[in-house]
């Protein structure tokens, strides 16, 4: 067959393709090509039994299979200390629809929380306890019952510095965290969100996850989602910090289950904290951020110590001039100013202080320095 005949045949096929019309609804169109009849289905035909995977019915079915958001109805806090007590008391105060139970192995401490003489003093804490205790806030020693009933569990136990062995003097002793985690794994009969609240080294959450998975009951088919929610409290302003936090940091794994757990805790805080202040991040980033903040705060004490050492290890009776009192230049805003903390530390050492800042009024000096809520020795974040 010559080139001319091939060209004519090709043009004929192309012409037939261009002249092909979309069939009307309910019709079937024959497409004749090279003496063959091919039945072309009508993709525009409506049917009550559609198999199209992108059809609305299939899409709705897919959405229905997605797990629903987690609604936290009961919270347990293991550890009735300085962090767990005030934090969960404020949660109970701001979330009356949530039952909050704070548990501890020390019965004397629990008895104090249930009495008129609280184990710790924080401005505003007693008023919150009196409003919520016995309604949706409870203090108990029955740790197992609290674990079984809770949807979300805060781990807020002590993490003291190791006194012996490797890392003594600087490493955190995580034995209480480990014991608490093992108990959760042993007692829990349903899936739980476990929130790391204590100040811990990086990757502690990974260790907790392994403990939970290794010690849980396999026949129950339950899961544990680990979150990191570090506290940023200062003694004397803990309730104020909890009611009006600068930010709430919540870290989780990047898995769908981890994100659902993270969203559940955000929903709890969103009862009084604007959502834009709820910072969500990865699990390890959350742990690291807390340690970085502690390290940054420790620089203030380190600076004071360096000054004292340079002046023969004593500044008692010596005059120190501080140039600048605001938190940065060209402003009179003294909130969160490092100068306030440094001056307080210098005064503790017995130094005489002179302050100069052209943008700050004199009465503001006294308001900030006489205020007992001004943190001194790197209390923020402890």
- Going by the annotation, the residues of the binding site for NAD(+) are 104, 109, 159, 199, 235
b vs e for 262-282, b when ≥16 Cβ sit within 10 Å of the residue's Cβ? bbbbbbbbbeebeeeebebbe
- Distance from C-alpha of 132 to C-alpha of 74, rounded to nearest angstrom: 15
Q: What share of the chain is helix, strand, coil (3-state, %, to 5)?
A: 40, 15, 45
Q: Are 33 and 14 in contact (CB under 8 A)?
A: no
Residue 290: name the closest of 382, 172, 180 by CA: 382
For the annotated binding site, the residues are 104, 109, 159, 199, 232-235, 290
- The closest alpha carbon to 289, from 299, 300, 279, belongs to 279
Question: Roughly what angle, to the nearest 10 degrees, separates helices 283-310 and 204-215?
Answer: 140
CB atoms within 10 A of CB 312: 8
What gap in Å lies between CA 382 and CA 377, rounded to an integer? 10
Spell out a b/e string for 350-379, using b for 16 or more CB atoms within 10 Å of the CB, else e: ebeeebebeebeeebbeebbeeeebbbebe
- How would you classify the pairing of strands 137-140 and 29-33? unpaired
Residue numbers belonging to the annotated binding site for substrate: 232-235, 290
Helix (H) or strand (E) holding 261: helix 256-269
The answer to whether 327 and 335 have CB atoms below 8 angstroms apart is yes
Closest to 240 in 3D by CA, of 126, 125, 88, 379: 125
């Amino acid at each position: 067959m010559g080139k001319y005949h091939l060209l004519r045949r090709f043009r004929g096929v192309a012409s037939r393709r261009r002249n092909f019309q979309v069939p009307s609804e309910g019709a079937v169109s024959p497409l004749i090509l090279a003496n063959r009849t091919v039945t072309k289905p009508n993709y525009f035909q409506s049917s009550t039994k559609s198999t199209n995977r992108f059809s609305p019915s299939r899409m709705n079915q897919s959405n229905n299979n997605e797990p629903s958001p987690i609604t936290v109805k009961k919270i347990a806090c293991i550890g009735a200390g300085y962090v767990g007590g005030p934090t969960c008391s404020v949660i109970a105060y701001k979330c009356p629809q949530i039952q909050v139970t704070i548990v501890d192995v020390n019965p004397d401490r629990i008895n104090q929380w249930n009495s008129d003489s609280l184990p710790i003093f924080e401005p505003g804490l007693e008023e919150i306890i009196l409003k919520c205790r016995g309604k949706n806030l409870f203090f108990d020693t029955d740790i197992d019952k609290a674990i079984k009933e809770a949807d979300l569990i805060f781990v807020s136990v002590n993490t003291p510095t190791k006194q012996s062995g490797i890392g003594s003097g600087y490493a955190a002793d995580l034995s209480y965290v480990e014991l608490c985690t093992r108990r959760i794994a042993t007692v829990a009969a349903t899936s739980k969100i476990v929130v790391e609240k204590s100040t811990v080294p990086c990757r502690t959450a990974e260790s907790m996850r392994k403990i939970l998975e290794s010690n849980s009951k396999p026949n129950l088919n339950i899961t544990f989602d680990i979150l990191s929610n570090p506290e940023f409290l200062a003694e004397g302003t803990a309730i104020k910090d909890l009611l009006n936090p600068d930010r709430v940091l919540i870290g989780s794994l990047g898995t769908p289950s981890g994100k659902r757990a993270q969203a559940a805790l955000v929903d709890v805080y969103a009862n009084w904290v604007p959502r834009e202040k709820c910072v969500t991040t990865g699990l390890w980033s959350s742990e690291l951020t807390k340690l970085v903040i502690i390290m940054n705060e420790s620089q203030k004490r380190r600076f004071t110590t360096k000054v004292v050492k340079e002046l023969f290890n004593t500044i008692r009776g010596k005059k120190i001039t501080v140039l600048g009192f605001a938190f940065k230049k060209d402003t009179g805003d003294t909130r969160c100013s490092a100068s306030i903390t440094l001056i307080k530390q210098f005064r503790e050492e017995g130094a005489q202080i002179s302050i100069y800042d052209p943008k700050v009024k004199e009465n503001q000096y006294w308001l900030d320095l006489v205020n007992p809520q001004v943190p001194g020795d790197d209390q923020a974040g402890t």
